[in-house]
Structure 1
Amino acid sequence: MSNKIKIRRILDEGFSQGNVDVLDELMTEDFVNHNAAPGMAPGRDGVKAVIKAERQGFPDLKVEVIRDFEDGEYVIQHVRLTGTHQGTVFGAEPTGRTISWNEIHIARVRDGRVSDHWACNDLHVLLMQLGKMTPPDTSAFRQAVVGS
């Protein structure tokens, strides 16, 4: 099984289906999430907590792999997460709206299991859709670009 397929199982079975036990199979015991959210453990248990929190807010959460690449021991993924905001998440009460945001993941695979993870995400896009962040004023930028 390719490393890309293993990583997709984390997204499909873990995040989209809520099966946190799959992490024990697919991540090393000394796994490190180098971009763990403040207050979250950087190991497997921290990822399990993220899955539970996101699925509490978005019980129908789905992760779509837009593209992924494998280069030796590294897998790079561009994914889109989509779900209906039905529960409290990130301090935001349910809105009933469909929310969508993008993430980039880099995973290192050692001995067939994920040992390290780095990420970059559209957290600002997510927070704006949840009503927890005001969109920035881009009028000056638009005026400079458009020239009106």
Structure 2
Amino acid sequence: MNQTDLEKNKTVIARFDKACIEKNDKKALDELVADHVINHAARQGASNGKESFHHFLQLLHSGLSDIKVEILQQVAEKDLVVTRKSISGMHTGNFMGVPPTGKAISIEAIEIIRLENGKYAEHWVQSNLRELLSSLN
């Protein structure tokens, strides 16, 4: 894989972040996520396929407004892209069982995406989401 391919892979992640996370663009999600994707970050017992991405974005957008994603660092090697990012927004709706607080919040995450043919094929993430939710209660 050459440098141009690695940059293209990084661009796929940036496009997902802007179109899907910030704007909840379901069409873009369907274009950028493979039908056979495995989401290793899905809740135990829940779907870990493409539907898990739709479900998370529904939860995110029902609980937060003015969502912005900032890519802080990104490294690509072969078919993997590692991204450290911050997802921020206003907690204006019910978010994963937590009633709105009106507070500005930030989810800090490091994710690993394996791409196939320019689409998400596997997804892993570590974030501060649990700690954030408990601090809102």
| TM over 0.5, shorter chain | yes
Tell me which amino acid in the other structure corresponds to 2:115.
V
Question: Contact 1:68–1:75 at 8 Å: present in 2 too?
Answer: yes
Deviation at 1:129, TM superposition (A): 3.3
| Stretches of 4+ aligned residues off by more than 4 angstroms | none
Tell me, yes or no, if structure 1 residue 25 matches structure 2 residue 31: yes
Question: Contact 1:14–1:22 at 8 Å: present in 2 too?
Answer: yes
- Aligned alpha-carbon RMSD (Å): 1.4
* Higher RCO, Cα 8 Å, sep 6+: 2
Q: What is the aligned counterpart of 2:40 among 18, 34, 38? A: 34
Aligned length: 131
Which residue of the partner structure matches residue 14 of structure 1?
A: 20
Q: What is the aligned counterpart of 1:107 among 89, 109, 113? A: 113
Q: What is the aligned counterpart of 2:96 among 57, 80, 90? A: 90
Deviation at 1:125, TM superposition (A): 3.0
Tell me which amino acid in the other structure corresponds to 1:34.
H
Q: Which consecutive residues of structure 2, in runs of 5 or more, have no partner in the other structure?
A: 1-6
Q: What is the aligned counterpart of 1:71 among 63, 66, 77? A: 77
Tell me which amino acid in the other structure corresponds to 2:67.
L
The higher radius of gyration belongs to 1
Q: Which consecutive residues of structure 1, in runs of 5 or more, have no partner in the other structure?
A: 132-148
Tell me which amino acid in the other structure corresponds to 2:118.
G
Question: Contact 1:88–1:94 at 8 Å: present in 2 too?
Answer: yes
Distance in 2 (alpha carbons) for counterparts of 1:43 and 1:64: 25
Question: Contact 1:28–1:113 at 8 Å: present in 2 too?
Answer: yes
Distance in 1 (alpha carbons) for counterparts of 2:105 and 2:38: 28
Distance in 2 (alpha carbons) for counterparts of 1:109 and 1:122: 24
- The verdict on how the C-alpha distance between 1:35 and 1:27 changes in structure 2, with shifts beyond 3 A counting, is same
Deviation at 1:39, TM superposition (A): 4.8
